[in-house]
Amino acid sequence: MVKAVVGANWGDEGKGKITDTLADQADVVIRFQGGANAGHTIVNQYGKFALHLLPSGVFHPNITNVIGNGVAFDIDKFLHEIGDIESKGVPEPKIIVSDRVQVLMPYHILFDTLEEARLAGKSFGSTKSGIAPFYSDKYAKIGWQINEFYQDDDALLEKIDHIADIKDALLVNLYHTDPIDRKGLLAWIKERRDRIRPYLCDVPKFLEGEIKEDKTILLEGQLGTMKDPDFGIYPMVTSSSPIAGFGSIGAGIPPYEIKQIVVVSKAYSSAVGAGEFVSEIFGDEAETLRNHGGDGGEYGATTGRPRRVGWYDCVASKYGCRLQGATDVAFTVLDDLGYLDEIPVCVAYEIDGKETTDFPVTKDLKRAKPVYKTLPGWKCDIRGIREFSDLPEEAQDYVNFIEQQIGYPITMVSNGPSRDDIIYRVSPLNR
Annotated active-site positions, please? 12, 40
Spatial separation of the C-alpha atoms in residues 345 and 36, rounded to whole Å: 32
> What would the 3-class secondary structure string for the chain be?
CEEEEEECCCCCCCHHHHHHHHHHHCCEEEECCECCCCCEEEEECCEEEEECCCCCCCCCCCCEEEECCCEEECHHHHHHHHHHHHHCCCCCCEEEEECCCEECCHHHHHHHHHHHHHHHHHCCCCCCCCHHHHHHHHHCCCCCEHHHHCCCHHHHHHHHHHHHHHHHHHHHHCCCCCCCCHHHHHHHHHHHHHHHHHHEECHHHHHHHHHHCCCCEEEEEEEEHHHCCCCCCCCCCCCCCCCCCHHHHHHCCCHHHEEEEEEEEECCEEECCCCCCCCECCHHHHHHHHHHCCCCCCECCCCCCECEEECEEHHHHHHHHHHHCCCEEEEECHHHHCCCCEEEEEEEEEECCEEECCCCCHHHHCCCEEEEEEEECCCCCCCCCCCHHHCCHHHHHHHHHHHHHHCCCEEEEECCCECCCEEECCCHHHC
Tell how far CA 41 is from the center of its chain.
11
Contact between 92 and 86 (Cβ < 8 Å): yes
CA distance 28 to 94: 10
The Cβ-side half-sphere exposure at 376, using a 13 Å CA radius, reads 8
Q: Which residues of 24-50 are buried (b: 16+ CB within 10 A; e: fewer)?
A: eebbbbbbbbbbbbbbbbbbbeeeebb
Handedness of CA 277, 240, 247, 47 (dihedral sign): negative
